[in-house]
Amino acid sequence: MKKHTYVEIVTIGDEILYGQITDTNSQWIGQELNKLGFKVIRKTSIGDTKEEILTILDEAQKRADIILITGGLGPTKDDITKKTIAEYFNVGMTFRQEVFDNIAELFKTRNRALTDLNRQQAEVPENGEVIMNPVGTAPGMWFEQGNKTFVSMPGVPYEMKRLMSDSILGKLQSKYDTPFIVHKMLRTMGIPESLLADQIEEWEDALPEFIGLAYLPRFGQVRLRLTAVGDNKEVLDNAIEAQVEKLRPLLGDNLFAEDDVEIEQMIMNKMIEKGVTLATAESCTGGAIAKRITTLSGCSAFYKGGIVSYSNEVKMTQLDVQGETLLEHGAVSEETALQMANNVREKYKTDYGIATTGIAGPGGGTKDKPVGTVWVALSTAEKTEAKLLQLTKTREVNIYATGNTILKWLYDEI
Amino acid sequence: MKKHTYVEIVTIGDEILYGQITDTNSQWIGQELNKLGFKVIRKTSIGDTKEEILTILDEAQKRADIILITGGLGPTKDDITKKTIAEYFNVGMTFRQEVFDNIAELFKTRNRALTDLNRQQAEVPENGEVIMNPVGTAPGMWFEQGNKTFVSMPGVPYEMKRLMSDSILGKLQSKYDTPFIVHKMLRTMGIPESLLADQIEEWEDALPEFIGLAYLPRFGQVRLRLTAVGDNKEVLDNAIEAQVEKLRPLLGDNLFAEDDVEIEQMIMNKMIEKGVTLATAESCTGGAIAKRITTLSGCSAFYKGGIVSYSNEVKMTQLDVQGETLLEHGAVSEETALQMANNVREKYKTDYGIATTGIAGPGGGTKDKPVGTVWVALSTAEKTEAKLLQLTKTREVNIYATGNTILKWLYDEI
């Protein structure tokens, strides 16, 4: 097999260590590199100090072939990555006219005046190759030292992504020849990790050496990841597929979805293909389902909209839930869920209506209806049905798991 | 000043390196430690391999006093953290009855049968002190070696948080005496980082040595973080406040909010205090604003709900937007936004109504209304007004920035 190309990702910024931002950059970079067969062996976050930056650059290049660095390229004094990289390579800085022109152009579009700080953003370590940034003022930089590559990118996620997609990934691919890494993801629901492991133990033990298995639990789902590594993609694909064929019957009804595509994306594909439409009525999920759907570009082709009915009054006036239903059975009840799903479908004139009502927590639980009690309902022209869920004590888990359950149910019904 | 207590956070799991999950654990841990004066100096993510785990434990204890480890404690074969830690300390494993009883109890609640794998979860390295996990099957573990502390926790976020909050943070506080770290966060909007830096340069240069300043740009906001470190909290608080008093007038209208509280939380506090209510009508934000609000526990005290009107039909039938308005001005127009905000307020009988309609992208732009064209509107009993925004080409930025703008506007009006 070809030699692995090892990558380390270094994210720089005190705000990461203080926990003031979520580092989503390293996740995205990991995903993209993985698709191309690069092996990320470590991710490190450090603060904006010269010593830390110098140390990690030196450590990382001992372990990895490629070191990808994000952050610390802003125009302000607290950002010191660029000059520290120059110090690491023991070179000076040079002014790059093309970078300055790009900054000037960006400021013109935004009707802003340039400052001296922006001029400094056009200075780059002498040995660096500039990677132009069409969406921001800080350029990317590419450095080579022996067979090692260092790339420095801005920390703003959409700028970093643009630089990676437009040029860096391509340049890395031309420079390094890597084996293929093929993943297959299967999502299960409704079975704990330990039971699942028992259920598929024999199959797991018989896996060939070059295929690895991982269990990834999350919000009531367990995802199974098969990973195969080798030089021939077709061989890997076939080997994985052969294993998945043996695995499917062992998972039975607990198999939720294949491949790591979000359920809302699967629904979108199926609904557009069938030319059907959807509306949502959300109480306890409070717009979280609508948000998941509308995060998808192109969703207006099947999603007409929805109602977030947080109060009983809104359930009555906007969703025509009967006052006596709320009095007799309460807002968190099968009857209310059924009316919500049916009525939103009728009001929005869609083929499918889905509804959620429950106690997300942490407050609001009673003895009869503790936190985590949730009703979900699904309505079509033919039928309207509801299901009771008993979830957890944790608000965010309940909101997410409720969404997963009703979306999975919807997907199966389309 | 007291000596800093240095902490390293190590998150274990191939899924982090492959980019298959977002590592939110290390962010949360960083936040909580920071509040208590612990200084996180590095975060590292590594794969589930024995060599990597042994190496990082050894490296980290050379740099830090405390090493916090999450992940790799599941019942399945791919999880090897526990036995690798035993190997690192050169000890064997012992069965802990109290851990097993806890697992058995959890399974009873969930009506599941125990397996051999669960029994193995009750085995712990001999030198480890067990930290009971009330919400999951994998126990936490506390190890001491000389003056260094190692803590191993499950990777499931709500389990880790429970263990940290219930016992680990308290135990660390009793063991280590740290200086105070005080932050103050100011959020600005509508001014680029470089201009802002120019505007406050003199003030920044005159900051005392023990106060640091950082610029954190994100989605059209720039957050300014002041950080002071020392032994006397009152002195730090006063010194920061004195600096902020000088800074406020320099920021003027660009000052958006103080302290790092989300704008929706600020709205909730103010609305509940004043006893007023809110409804939302969302087109281009597609429920993202409702979701931000309903993520807050207790929001039902002021938030009655909202409408996600993704199609023109829903805008007409559910929000009473006039057909001729849509024909004449289009869905993305001042007139449509005004009607949405006013009508949702009237329909939901609330004091405030807010609305968004725009082209989030990437598709749907025209020459007159390019991607990033957004109208937001705010309605009260006295008046209904709209504002035009010209945002970016990036869908997620547009959705988030639209929410920020209308929520900030709402906050100012309450």
- A95, exposed or middle or buried, with CB in 10 Å at 0-12, 13-18, 19+? exposed
- pLDDT for A110: 67
Q: Kindly state whether residues B240 and B296 are assigned to the same domain.
A: no
Question: Cβ contact (<8 Å) for A286 and B285?
Answer: no
- pLDDT for B108: 79
Confidence tier at A260 by pLDDT (50, 70, 90): confident
Q: Which residues of B touch A42 (CB under 8 A)?
A: 17, 44-46, 52
Q: Kindly state whether residues B189 and B107 are assigned to the same domain.
A: no
Rounded to an integer, the average pLDDT of B333-352 is 97
Q: Kindly state whether residues A170 and A296 are assigned to the same domain.
A: no
Q: Kindly state whether residues B305 and B230 are assigned to the same domain.
A: no
What is the per-residue pLDDT across B131-181, written as a single tens digit (0 to 9) for each?
Answer: 999 888 899 999 999 989 999 999 989 899 999 999 999 999 999 999 998
Kindly tell me if the per-residue pLDDT of B65 is higher than 70.
yes
Which chain B residues in 62-101 lie under 8 Å from chain A, judged by CB atoms?
74-79
DSSP structure string for A383-405: -EEEEEEE--S-HHHHHHHHHHH
Question: Cβ contact (<8 Å) for B14 and A215?
Answer: no
The CATH number of whichever domain residue B138 belongs to comes to 3.40.980.10
Residue among A327, A310, A326, A309 nearest A318 (CA): A309
Which of the listed residues B258, B287, B322 is the one where a domain comes to its end? B258
> What is the Cα–Cα distance from B14 to B17, expressed in whole angstroms?
5
Q: Which residues of A touch B394 (CB under 8 A)?
A: 158
Number of domains forming the structure of chain A: 3
Q: Kindly state whether residues B163 and B30 are assigned to the same domain.
A: yes
Which chain A residues in 193-232 lie under 8 Å from chain B, judged by CB atoms?
193-195, 197-198, 204, 212-218, 223, 225, 227
Q: Kindly state whether residues B99 and B164 are assigned to the same domain.
A: yes
Question: Cβ contact (<8 Å) for B24 and A22?
Answer: yes
> What is the Cα–Cα distance from B342 to B382, expressed in whole angstroms?
10
Question: Cβ contact (<8 Å) for B308 and A294?
Answer: yes
> What is the Cα–Cα distance from A272 to A392, expressed in whole angstroms?
34
Question: Cβ contact (<8 Å) for A304 and B314?
Answer: yes
Q: Kindly state whether residues A151 and A196 are assigned to the same domain.
A: no
> What is the Cα–Cα distance from A96 to A117, expressed in whole angstroms?
14
Kindly tell me if the per-residue pLDDT of B393 is higher than 90.
no
The CATH number of whichever domain residue A314 belongs to comes to 3.90.950.20
Question: Cβ contact (<8 Å) for B117 and A194?
Answer: yes
> What is the Cα–Cα distance from A172 to A68, expressed in whole angstroms?
11
- pLDDT for B202: 95
What is the per-residue pLDDT across A301-352, written as a single tens digit (0 to 9) for each?
Answer: 999 999 999 889 999 999 999 999 999 999 999 999 999 999 999 999 999 9
> What is the Cα–Cα distance from B411 to B402, expressed in whole angstroms?
14
Rounded to an integer, the average pLDDT of B8-31 is 92
Confidence tier at A20 by pLDDT (50, 70, 90): confident
Rounded to an integer, the average pLDDT of A265-290 is 95
Q: Kindly state whether residues A318 and A237 are assigned to the same domain.
A: no
Kindly tell me if the per-residue pLDDT of B256 is higher than 90.
no
Share of chain A above pLDDT 90, in %: 71
**CA distance, residue B178 to nearest chain A CA (Å):** 16
- Count other Cβ atoms within 10 Å, centred on residue B128: 24
Question: Cβ contact (<8 Å) for A46 and B48?
Answer: no
**CA distance, residue B144 to nearest chain A CA (Å):** 24
Residue A110 falls inside a structural domain: yes
Q: Kindly state whether residues B370 and B295 are assigned to the same domain.
A: yes
Question: What residue in A sits closest to B32 (Cα-Cα)?
Answer: A19
Is B48 an 8 Å CB contact of chain A? yes
Which of the listed residues B223, B258, B293 is the one where a domain comes to its end? B258
**CA distance, residue A194 to nearest chain B CA (Å):** 6
Q: Kindly state whether residues A271 and A249 are assigned to the same domain.
A: no
- pLDDT for B258: 84
Q: Kindly state whether residues B118 and B162 are assigned to the same domain.
A: yes
Least confident of A54-58, A122-126, A388-392, B198-202: A388-392
Kindly tell me if the per-residue pLDDT of B110 is higher than 80.
no
Is B115 an 8 Å CB contact of chain A? yes
Single-letter amino acid, residue B377: A
Rounded to an integer, the average pLDDT of A11-21 is 91
- pLDDT for A77: 81
Question: Cβ contact (<8 Å) for A307 and B305?
Answer: yes
Which chain B residues in 322-361 lie under 8 Å from chain A, judged by CB atoms?
347-349, 360-361
Share of chain A above pLDDT 70, in %: 99
The CATH number of whichever domain residue A230 belongs to comes to 3.30.70.2860
Residue A24 falls inside a structural domain: yes
Question: Cβ contact (<8 Å) for A194 and B115?
Answer: yes
Question: What residue in B sits closest to A71 (Cα-Cα)?
Answer: B216
Question: What residue in A sits closest to B37 (Cα-Cα)?
Answer: A18
3-state helix/strand/coil string of B2-62: CCCCEEEEEEECHHHHCCCCCCCHHHHHHHHHHHCCCEEEEEEEECCCHHHHHHHHHHHHH
Element (H, E) at B123: strand B123-125
Going B101 to B107 to B108 to B109, the CA torsion angle's sign is positive
Confidence tier at B261 by pLDDT (50, 70, 90): confident
Residue B1 falls inside a structural domain: no
DSSP structure string for B216-246: EEETTEEEEEEEEEES-HHHHHHHHHHHHHH
For testing contact with chain B, the best of A215, A294, A315, A317 (most B CBs within 10 A): A294
Residue B23 falls inside a structural domain: yes
**CA distance, residue A73 to nearest chain B CA (Å):** 11
For testing contact with chain B, the best of A311, A320, A340 (most B CBs within 10 A): A311
Element (H, E) at A282: strand A278-282
Residue A400 falls inside a structural domain: yes
Q: Kindly state whether residues B160 and B215 are assigned to the same domain.
A: no
Residue B333 falls inside a structural domain: yes
Question: Cβ contact (<8 Å) for B78 and A295?
Answer: no
Q: Which residue has the tokens 């404690």?
A: B73
Share of chain B above pLDDT 70, in %: 99
Q: Which residue has the tokens 């127009």?
A: B333
What is the per-residue pLDDT across A79-110, written as a single tens digit (0 to 9) for each?
Answer: 899 999 999 999 999 999 999 999 898 887 76
Strand order in the sheet with B180-189: B211-218, B221-230, B180-189, B255-258
Q: Which residues of A touch B306 (CB under 8 A)?
A: 287, 307-308
Element (H, E) at A305: strand A303-309
Rounded to an integer, the average pLDDT of A26-39 is 93
Which pairs from B323-332 meet CB under 8 Å and 24+ separation? B330/B369, B331/B283, B331/B357, B332/B284, B332/B357, B332/B358, B332/B359, B332/B369, B332/B373, B332/B374, B332/B375
Which chain B residues in 366-385 lie under 8 Å from chain A, judged by CB atoms?
none
Which of the listed residues B258, B275, B292 is the one where a domain comes to its end? B258
Residue A1 falls inside a structural domain: no
- pLDDT for B79: 87
**CA distance, residue B47 to nearest chain A CA (Å):** 7
Least confident of A28-32, A60-64, A72-76, B347-351: A72-76
Kindly tell me if the per-residue pLDDT of B246 is higher than 70.
yes
Question: Cβ contact (<8 Å) for A76 and B197?
Answer: yes
Residue B350 falls inside a structural domain: yes
Going A50 to A51 to A54 to A57, the CA torsion angle's sign is negative
Question: Cβ contact (<8 Å) for B115 and A195?
Answer: yes
- pLDDT for A7: 98
Question: What residue in B sits closest to A8 (Cα-Cα)?
Answer: B17
DSSP class of residue B128 equals P
Query: In which domain, by residue range, is A281 found?
Result: 263-413
